[in-house]
Amino acid sequence: MRPKVLIGYDESPEGEDALLLGESLSDVLEAKPVVATVISHTRQGVDETDFDEAVIKYTEPIFAKARRRLGREATGRHVVNDSVAAGIYELADWEKPSAVVIGSTRHGESGRIQVGTVGGSLLSGIHCSVAVAPRGYAANSRLVSVGVAIDGSSESWRALSAAAYVAKRVSSPLRVMSVMGKPHYVLGGLLSPLGPEEYREYKEKEWEHVYEDAVRRVPDEISTEPLLLHGDPADALSDAAGDVDLLVLGSRGYGPLKGTVLGSVSARIMAAAPCPVMVVPRGAGPTPLEA
């Protein structure tokens, strides 16, 4: 079965960002692009049949423009819902895509992702991978290099699987990142019995074991590049994201519908990363992004 990429599009600049990222992911995954638009309910007493016809008339030019921008055939899907996030979730539940692509909020610095209420709500319940394009992505879109953040958890192994799949498709080495934070102190006392240097050596050895495990999980034809970062995890990963075209993260747990839950670190990375960020939920299965 051919995979699908569901792209949220509304003719806004942010919609253009999502469309171009969705195009890149569709090419990489050899997937069928599905362009999605959410329409609000009418507030006046309009006949249901008339409203349905008006919606079709309204969305046809939107889908036609998206197809011209993509330069290929793409399925257009609309849904009537007062919540954009709920509408995208409904379409994703129907289409079963490998990934959903959305743009950032319309507020915030260019070149930065602001997840906003739509992205935050969507990421709290959806079961497939979700990619968010930073503002202005359409002006300089490309997908050549891939990075993934790992920490040895099951969530990060799912992210590794998805990132490796993309890296293989674009014939690029996979940059495997992890962050070593500072030792924690409480009331002047170190929580660990290890001294600062011993702590550093211990964490570096721990990272080596995690990286070796990651290499074993990646297909042999994909080369990996280790990158151990230091400091605050969100800040360090956001800075490192400037050297890749896509940063892949794992979700931290289950939401109300057993979907993606953004932890504080993931949310901060998505708000500051200069490149597209993809979050892979537990519900994506052992081989995310594949049909």
Residue whose token pair is 């008006």: 54
Low-confidence ranges of the chain (pLDDT < 50): 107-117, 187, 253-262
Measure the CA–CA gap between 278 and 266, rounded to whole angstroms. Answer: 10
| pLDDT the model gives residue 107 | 47
Task: Report residue 230 as tokens.
Answer: 């230091």
pTM summary value = 0.86
| Domain spans, the chain | 4-284
- What is the spatial order of strands in the sheet that 99-103 belongs to? 75-80, 32-39, 4-8, 99-103, 129-133, 277-280, 246-250, 146-149, 174-180, 224-230
pLDDT computed for residue 125 by the predictor: 64
4-284 under CATH 1.10.540.10, yes or no:
no
98 closest CA partner among 36, 193, 32? 32
- pLDDT of 191 reads 58
Tokens at 91, concatenated: 């379409």
Alpha carbons 78 and 227: distance in angstroms, whole number = 42
User: Tens digits of per-residue pLDDT, 129-151?
Assistant: 989 898 899 888 889 999 999 98
Report pLDDT for 184. Answer: 58
Q: What is the dihedral of CA 86, 9, 37, 118, to 10 degrees?
A: 20
pLDDT at position 193 is 65
Contact 274, 134 (CB under 8 A): yes
Predicted confidence (pLDDT) per residue in 199-216, tens digit: 778 888 888 999 999 999
